[in-house]
Amino acid sequence: MGVQKKEAFKPKTVPGNLKLKGENFYRDRKKVQYLNMLKGGRARYDGKGNLLKAAPYQSKEAPTAHIEPNRKWFGNTRVIGQKALEEFREQMATKINDPYQVLLRRSKLPTSLLHDNTKIGQVNMLQTEAFSDTFGPKAQRKRPKLTVEGYDQLVKKITDSEGSYDHKKDLNLQANKRTEYDAARDWYLTAGTSKRIWNELYKVVDSSDVILHVLDARDPEGTRCRHVEKYIKTEAPHKHLVYILNKVDLVPTWVTARWVKVLSREYPTLAFHASINHSFGKGSLIQLLRQFTRLHADKKQISVGLIGYPNTGKSSIINTLRQKKVCTVAPVPGETKVWQYITMTRRIYLIDCPGIVQFSATDTDTDIVLKGSIRTESLLMPEDYIPEILNRVRKEYIQRHYNIDKWDSAEDFLTELAKATGKLNKGGEPDLHVVSKMVVNDWVRGRLPHYRAPPEFSEPLSQSQTPAVGSDA
């Protein structure tokens, strides 16, 4: 009787403490629910094949539904006149290319109307002139179509082409064919140009909302990746690009101020000195990133990617923002191998990227080495780069650093330096190879002061013309 009473007053909603059908010692509740999910979703039939229960969303017993008609079906709700379109283009063209203004709700604006589609598709010849009208017994065309109207114009065209013909530029002639080729570059000069490195770069670009292009203050133009800038401008115009002029402690203040003034014409530029304890520009950078989080208020967090040449200080900037060592850093290029995520705040994530080197046909081997993108121990002939270093660095700086008063040539300088440092081989011969690596290493690590001023600004600014380049942190 007691059991029947309990069953009579059994509640309709099953509590969570009761077992499901099939739940036992071997199968818990979660496993039974998973198996029921796999068994479900199928139609049930009897022995004769008649449908007993249809599968979910496949039943034919659903009532017939009607869609309410709307007059918007028969008209285009987004129609714009030619005059209004021209005004829209004039107003937006001045603002959409301004890096200091952000276009909100870009997806809801017809930005595609700003540019005319100049792409010309492939011409279908059969639509222009049918095959039967050109060939066969019913051909309509009796002679080929020429760009000239008569025989006289054809003769004049051939005569003019003969007058402008230069046999020295005709590559089809055997005498003009190239038979000697330049020797292949050494393997270490291709550092930072591998396919793996560029794949890592595009991962960072695709994953970032804000991209910080880190430049070396000693040579900002030489460490710019114009190919990446063009790619971001054409393929990802919704991403924000900002220049970070790092290592400003190695150049005079007026050089930093002038470079900030020049680079700010294209994109926002901040001067920065990466240091955990004594940094410069950290407060301005954090304030800028917080402004980007307000612009992207619809996102839970934003990603900030750092790109640039090797040895420009990308990982050091991340350590400065975090005020502790979260990325491995070294004063040599190529320390970062793969991209990595670092949490700065709850809403800001930083992405570290390996250094990339943009190939340029105008860059010589000396330019590639002196940009600091190659490790010194990989150089086979470091003596070849010493004359350029002596030309770029002031003589008084070299005299003060190496305690050498005078020299006549680069080889004489290396000989005097080898004697002063004791780098000698058997018989007292100076070891020029080891001493050359020492000089190149001092160049890469910033021990030899040098910089490149903007071409239009070669003199220091006056005190009233010097702009603010950042704020102390």
Task: Tell me, letter by letter, the H, E, C secondary structure of 241-272.
Answer: EEEEEECHHHCCHHHHHHHHHHHCCCCCEEEC
pLDDT range class, residue 8, cuts 50, 70, 90: very low
Mean pLDDT of 5-34: 72
Which two tokens mark 296?
């992207």
The closest of 371, 375, 334, 368 to 354, measured between CA atoms, is: 334
pLDDT range class, residue 473, cuts 50, 70, 90: very low
Residue 357 CB contacts under 8 Å (≥ 6 apart), including other chains: 191, 192, 193, 309, 310, 368, 371, 373
Whole-number pLDDT of residue 427: 81
Helix (H, G, I), strand (E, B) or coil at 34: helix
Residue that wins the pLDDT comparison between 465 and 95: 95
Q: What is the pLDDT of residues 250-301, one digit of tens each?
A: 999 999 999 999 999 999 999 999 998 889 999 999 999 999 999 888 889 9
Whole-number pLDDT of residue 468: 41
Residue that wins the pLDDT comparison between 456 and 280: 280
Whole-number pLDDT of residue 348: 93
Asked whether the predicted pLDDT for residue 1 surpasses 50, the reply is no
Asked whether the predicted pLDDT for residue 32 surpasses 60, the reply is yes
Torsion of CA 160, 163, 168, 172, to 10 degrees: 40
Phi, psi of 340 (to 5 degrees): -150, 145
- Using alpha carbons only, how large is the chain's radius of gyration in Å? 36
Asked whether the predicted pLDDT for residue 472 surpasses 50, the reply is no
Place of tokens 């309990």: 6
Q: What is the pLDDT of residues 387-409, one digit of tens each?
A: 999 998 988 999 898 888 888 88
- What are the CA-CA distances from residue 301 to residues 77, 228, 269 (Å)? 35, 24, 23
Asked whether the predicted pLDDT for residue 381 surpasses 80, the reply is yes
Q: Whole-angstrom Cα distance, residue 392 to residue 231?
A: 33
Asked whether the predicted pLDDT for residue 307 surpasses 90, the reply is yes
Place of tokens 């066969």: 136
pTM, two decimals, is: 0.67
**DSSP letters spanning 58-100:** --S-SPP--PPP-GGGGS-S----HHHHHHHHHHHHHHHT-TT
**DSSP letters spanning 262-316:** HHTTTS-EEE-B--SSS-BSHHHHHHHHHHHHHHTTTSS-EEEEEEESTTS-HHH
Q: Whole-angstrom Cα distance, residue 144 to residue 12?
A: 90
- How, if at all, do strands 210-216 and 302-308 pair? parallel
Question: Percent of the chain beyond pLDDT 70?
Answer: 84
Which two tokens mark 214?
């880190």
Residue 37 CB contacts under 8 Å (≥ 6 apart), including other chains: none
Whole-number pLDDT of residue 425: 85
CB 272 within 8 A of CB 215: no
CB 433 within 8 A of CB 235: no
Which runs of consecutive H residues, i.e. helices, occur in 171-225?
195-207
pLDDT range class, residue 207, cuts 50, 70, 90: very high
Residue that wins the pLDDT comparison between 265 and 377: 265
CB 271 within 8 A of CB 281: yes
Angle among Cα 410, 413, 417 to the nearest 5 degrees reads 140
Q: Whole-angstrom Cα distance, residue 245 to residue 218?
A: 9
Whole-number pLDDT of residue 131: 76
Which two tokens mark 51?
């449908």
Number of CB atoms found within 10 A of residue 208's CB: 24
